[in-house]
Amino acid sequence: MTVSATIRIQEADFDVAREIAALSQGRTDVGAVVSFSGICRGAEQGEPIAALTLEHYPDMAEAEIQRHADDALARWPLQGLTVIHRFGRIEPGQNIVLVVTASAHRQAAFEAAEFLMDYLKTNAPFWKREESARGTNWIEAQDHDDVAAARWTKS
Amino acid sequence: MTVSATIRIQEADFDVAREIAALSQGRTDVGAVVSFSGICRGAEQGEPIAALTLEHYPDMAEAEIQRHADDALARWPLQGLTVIHRFGRIEPGQNIVLVVTASAHRQAAFEAAEFLMDYLKTNAPFWKREESARGTNWIEAQDHDDVAAARWTKS
Amino acid sequence: MKVKYFAWVRERIGKAEETIEPPADVRTVDDLIGWLTAQGEAYAYAFEKPKVIRAAIDHAHVKADATIAGAREIAFFPPMTGG
Amino acid sequence: MKVKYFAWVRERIGKAEETIEPPADVRTVDDLIGWLTAQGEAYAYAFEKPKVIRAAIDHAHVKADATIAGAREIAFFPPMTGG
């Protein structure tokens, strides 16, 4: 059975429950489902923010996420994989990104979800700008995200 | 702020979406929510099964899960933690266990969820019996689960 | 003291719990397993591979050399398979 | 060839994309950054720290020494902050 990933890059919100159900309902080969939801926080480095605006490079974002999803499907025995990344203006408490993995066993589901999140943070062409009382600022990339992504590199 | 874990040991099913929402809705300090759902598979080691029956030791299960949840709250900066473990008869495709973690950052949420699942597999006093065409059999513990749990031991 | 049995230990012994009064020289979990083993065939069958058996005293996991002095409830069971 | 700019690179240059025709001796991404830097103050500002700038050719990440021969679309942007 060939498993293909569901990838969506959209301005609209997503429904975590529906995406989890889509990978597990009505089948009996899935033993583990992991979901990761990334949510807009109300403060960045101690400063309150009003919203984030996510800019992205549409064609490349699609290609990059597809490439990493295919990589995850090749590396772990997954029965389902969904990646949704939003763009546009997102307020505190709202969803930004979702990864859902389904597998027979828990370790594959956990590892594949972490792998994809690490890559989305460092390689997917999205850029966050924050709005706060001090104006708007582009958020800087975090070194620790590069470190997290590097642990998946085949040596 | 003191965070306390929500722990439920129950025969009834649970609603993953409701438990995720309970840890994240209406607040702006949560940046990452990880959920793990463990689901009854339709086969064990290649043999089709009709159902699992989970026996448990009620007082100890509560105490054990509480102890590991407190340990997780002490080790990772979590803003919420929910653990639900079902008992009784569970058919293929139905939920068995749920762990949901909420944190400002993704790594804490992922690690705490994996830690709790590893401990539930090896230390929580639950025992699975499978029903199949060949009768009923107690499922044997897996060595790789002990290995997975051991990686969290403080050295 | 109260003793509880779970999973196939319970099935082999044929009861889920009982109250026992072991003699004073039964000091550890290991001693208790030895004493129970001598209580009849069902017990001998349940404890035939004592290394596989896990024990808890008052709802906490203990090792075979743990003392049972003061225990209110001791449980015996196979390795756990929850999660 | 088409060039696209994102985030603060786009803001500093003041446009999201343009079509350029660099001379033949502009062979690598690095060469192109150098050539663009000389196209005016806005470009010089956007590329003032060339080591920070990331590039993609035809939707795939490339390094500064990648050749631009045959590229249909080259993009310049700061380190990504998605996820």
Contact D82/A at CB under 8 A: yes
pLDDT beyond 60 at A155: no
Which chain C residues are Cβ-neighbours of B135 within 8 angstroms? Answer: none
Enumerate the β-bridge partners of residue A126. Answer: A56
- pLDDT at site A1: 58
Q: Which of B24, B33, B121, B122 to mutate to test the interface with A (most CBs of A within 10 A)?
A: B33
- pLDDT at site B45: 78
ipTM over 0.90: yes
- Span A106-126, average pLDDT: 96
Do B and C touch, 3+ Cβ pairs within 8 Å? The answer is: yes
Enumerate the β-bridge partners of residue B2. Answer: none
The pLDDT-based confidence of B155 (bands split at 50, 70, 90) is: low
What is the residue-wise DSSP string for chain B?
-----EEEEESS---HHHHHHHHHTT-SS--EEEEEEEE--SEETTEE-SEEEEEE-HHHHHHHHHHHHHHHHHHS-EEEEEEEEE-EEE-TTSEEEEEEEEESSHHHHHHHHHHHHHHHHHHS-EEEEEEETTEEEEPPPPHHHHHHHHTTS--
Point out the residue among A15, A29, A110 whose CB comes nearest to the CB of B41: A29
Two structure tokens written together for C1:
């003291």
- Span B106-111, average pLDDT: 97
pLDDT beyond 70 at A154: no
- Span A7-20, average pLDDT: 96
Point out the residue among B28, B93, B107 whose CB comes nearest to the CB of A28: B93
Phi, psi of C9 (to 5 degrees): -65, -45
- pLDDT at site A126: 98
- pLDDT at site C69: 95
Which chain B residues are Cβ-neighbours of A40 within 8 angstroms? Answer: 28, 31
- pLDDT at site A107: 96
Which chain B residues are Cβ-neighbours of C61 within 8 angstroms? Answer: 64, 123
pLDDT beyond 60 at A65: yes
Enumerate the β-bridge partners of residue A52. Answer: A90, A130
B128 and C56 within 8 Å at the Cβ level: the answer is: no
Interface of A with D in 86-125 (CB under 8 A): 96-97, 117, 120-125
Contact A98/B at CB under 8 A: no
What pLDDT digit, counting tens, does each position of D10-67 carry?
A: 999 999 999 999 999 999 999 999 999 999 999 999 999 999 999 999 999 999 999 9
What pLDDT digit, counting tens, does each position of C63-74 carry?
A: 999 999 999 999
For residue A39, give the H/E element and its range.
Answer: strand A32-39
- Span C53-70, average pLDDT: 97
Alpha-carbon Rg of chain A, whole angstroms? 16
Which chain B residues are Cβ-neighbours of A148 within 8 angstroms? Answer: 107
Point out the residue among B63, B85, B141 whose CB comes nearest to the CB of C59: B63
Which chain C residues are Cβ-neighbours of B55 within 8 angstroms? Answer: 6-7, 10
Point out the residue among A38, A55, A60 whose CB comes nearest to the CB of D7: A55
pLDDT beyond 60 at A139: yes
What is each CA distance from D16 to B104, D2, D8, D11, D61, in whole angstroms?
33, 11, 10, 8, 18
A34 and B38 within 8 Å at the Cβ level: the answer is: no
Q: Is the dihedral of CA A115, A120, A123, A129 positive or negative?
A: negative
Among A13-17, B16-20, B44-48, B95-99, the minimum mean pLDDT is found in B44-48
> Which chain B residue has the Cα nearest residue A149?
B107
> Which chain B residue has the Cα nearest residue C11?
B138
pLDDT beyond 80 at B154: no
What pLDDT digit, counting tens, does each position of B53-73 carry?
A: 999 999 999 999 999 999 999
pLDDT beyond 80 at B75: yes
A27 and B93 within 8 Å at the Cβ level: the answer is: yes
User: Smallest CA–CA separation between D79 and chain A, in Å?
Assistant: 6
- Span A3-15, average pLDDT: 96
D4 and A126 within 8 Å at the Cβ level: the answer is: no
Q: Which chains touch C (3 or more CB pairs under 8 A)?
A: B
Alpha-carbon distance of A2 to B71, in angstroms, equals 40
Pairing type for strands D60-62 and C73-77 reads unpaired
pLDDT beyond 90 at A103: yes
Two structure tokens written together for B80:
């919420």
D59 and A64 within 8 Å at the Cβ level: the answer is: yes
By three-state DSSP, how is residue A24 classified? helix
Contact C12/B at CB under 8 A: no
pLDDT beyond 80 at B1: no
